[in-house]
Amino acid sequence: MTKNKNNKTIWNTRIKNNSSLLFQKTTNSIDIDKRLYKEDILGSIAHVEMLFKQKIISFKIKNKIIYGLNKIKKEIDNKKFDFNTKYEDIHMNIENRLFELIGEEAGYTHTARSRNDQVITDFKIWIKSATNKINSILDTIIGSSLKLAEKNIETIMPGFTHLKNAQAVSFAHYLMAYVEMFHRDKKRFNNNLQSLNENPLGVAAIAGTSFNIDRNYTTKKLGFERPSNNSIDTVSDRDFVLDFLYSVSVCSMHLSRISEELIIWNSEGFNLINLSDKVVTGSSIMPQKKNPDLLEYLRGKSGSTYGNLFSMLTILKGLPLSYFKDLQDDKEIVFNSYDTLLNCLKIFNEILKNVSPNKRRMLELASSGYIVATDLADYLVKNHSMSFRNAYKKTAALVNFAEKKKKNLNELNLEEFNEIIPKLTNDVFKVLDLKNSVNSKKSYGGTSFSNIKKMIVKYKKQK
């Protein structure tokens, strides 16, 4: 890349001395924000087109600038662009190169614009496409979860509360619980798109501009819904950054929860699932080990994404209006959260394809812990005219009785049942059957097989 005439910064007329290397190294952000080059060029093209339409710059100058900008885009695309820390950030690097390519007319580009509105415009456009990318991977994950759920509608396992056996459920129902979460994640990300849809371009440094610009024109060109309302707020606002970071945090929290779930289920104590060799790692000393490291990685990474959310909240806390250099860190934080989440989502999708339920063990564990006690209480309410509280007490007494005899409920005979709850008939044994128990939960949202089937169909259609 040829150097410009003096290899000087834009502000060298005012600021005579070059800043120290340490200072340059500290304040520049080019290594981070060069990721915004496409958005920056897009924004600049829309801006100069608007300047021409408003007769602020000539046709010739507009075309020259656009020619230069497109050339720069190709240079960066092809890794032929020499990013220089001396020019601080992506905006000044591109402007500097534009001067080299087309000469003094490059100087018209920044009419009625500041880096303050420029950077948020770039950043909002970037976050929009990042959001779409995340949502499309979430779709893939929902698809993989539905596939696994479909194969396991009748796979019965214990549903846990307090990590104690609570009631029997279908493994598919557990998976579909996470489908709900991933679906909400998508909704959360999409809601953010609504609120960030205000075009910042044209508010300039803080006050707006005296040039007769048309902000509606750039709004349309850049795919925003409307121009932002207040120039001071616009250059200071990073709420859209917080929204994004929060949504990333919630999504990574969901990944963390299911990872923890699978880690527990994969332990020898539970032994409810198997992980294929593709997603486990070994130990350097214990030859027998197959560790769920990837799941632990996913569980841990929510720590970084929460940290990023808190970094940004802390940067904004007490920051007066309007632009300050403090805000420059927003991009490093967002890029890190995005890269982390994207990687985690890809890993999780692989895990979904490499996990299988240990059906026999699931059933065995579900058969312990008096898991059908609630079903028995419900049965007494329905067939023996008891209030639920009375039925609950009778069943609790029966559980105590069975526990003393070291038997499961279905191992008691009818006489033993009748010792505690008189007048029961053989009918009662149907209620103790796990499959019947799961299938009886037909209330909307419950774990019955037919409910799950319907939900799977519903989500398949939504994709």
**Could you list the residues that contact ligand ARG (CB under 6 A)?**
29, 33, 89, 115-116, 119, 323, 327-328
Catalytic residue IDs: 162, 283
Least Å from the CB of residue 92 to ligand ARG: 8
Question: Any idea which residue has 């070059």 for tokens?
Answer: 18
* Min dist. Cβ of residue 362 to ligand ARG (A): 52
Alpha carbons 353 and 281: distance in angstroms, whole number: 17
Minimum distance from CB of 327 to ligand ARG (Å)? 5
Nearer to ligand ARG, 330 or 378 (CB): 330
Q: In a 3-state reduction of DSSP, which class is residue 367?
A: coil
Q: Give the SS3 label for residue 274.
A: strand
Structure token digits, residue 250: 């919630």
Of 197, 178, 196, the residue nearest 138 (C-alpha) = 178
- Rounded to a whole number of angstroms, the minimum distance from the CB of residue 116 to ligand ARG is 5
8 A C-beta contact, residue 203 and residue 228: yes
For residue 205, how many C-alpha atoms fall within 13 Å in the half-sphere facing its CB? 3
The smaller minimum CB distance to ligand ARG, of residues 119 and 157, is found at 119
Residue 91 CB, nearest approach to ligand ARG (Å): 6
| Parallel/antiparallel/unpaired status of strands 164-170 and 226-227 | unpaired
**Residue with Cβ nearer ligand ARG (29 or 121):** 29
Find out whether 112 and 56 touch, Cβ atoms under 8 Å.
Answer: yes
Least separation, in Å, of the C-beta of 324 and ligand ARG?
8
User: Strand 226-227 and strand 198-199: pairing?
Assistant: parallel
CB of 27 to ligand ARG, least distance (A): 9
- Nearest approach, Cβ of 210 to ligand ARG (angstroms)? 19
Q: Containing H/E element for 198? A: strand 198-199
Upstream peptide bond of 322 is cis (omega within 30 degrees of 0): yes
Nearer to ligand ARG, 234 or 328 (CB): 328
Q: Which two tokens stand for residue 455?
A: 């939900």
Shorter beta-carbon distance to ligand ARG: residue 90 or 251: 90
CA distances from 115 to 96, 169, 196, 340 (A): 14, 56, 18, 28
Query: Which H or E run includes 392?
Result: helix 388-404
Looking at beta carbons only, is 123 or 370 nearer to ligand ARG?
123
Q: Cite the DSSP H helix spans in 405-448.
A: 414-420, 428-431, 434-439
* Strand partners of residue 158: 168
- C-alpha 27: how far from its chain's center? 30
Residues linked to residue 159 through DSSP beta bridges, in sequence order: 167
Determine the Cα–Cα distance for residues 427 and 171; give it in Å rounded to an integer: 27
The least distance separating ligand ARG from the CB of residue 97, rounded to whole angstroms, comes to 16
* Closest CB to ligand ARG among residues 337, 447: 337
Angle at 453 between CA 447 and CA 175, to 5 degrees: 60
d(CA 81, CA 103): 17
Cα(448)–Cα(453) distance, integer angstroms = 9
CA 360/CA 379 separation, integer angstroms: 27
Nearer Cβ to ligand ARG, position 69 or 402? Answer: 69
Spatial separation of the C-alpha atoms in residues 82 and 227, rounded to whole Å: 34
Q: 126 or 217, CB closer to ligand ARG?
A: 126
CA distance 278 to 256: 20
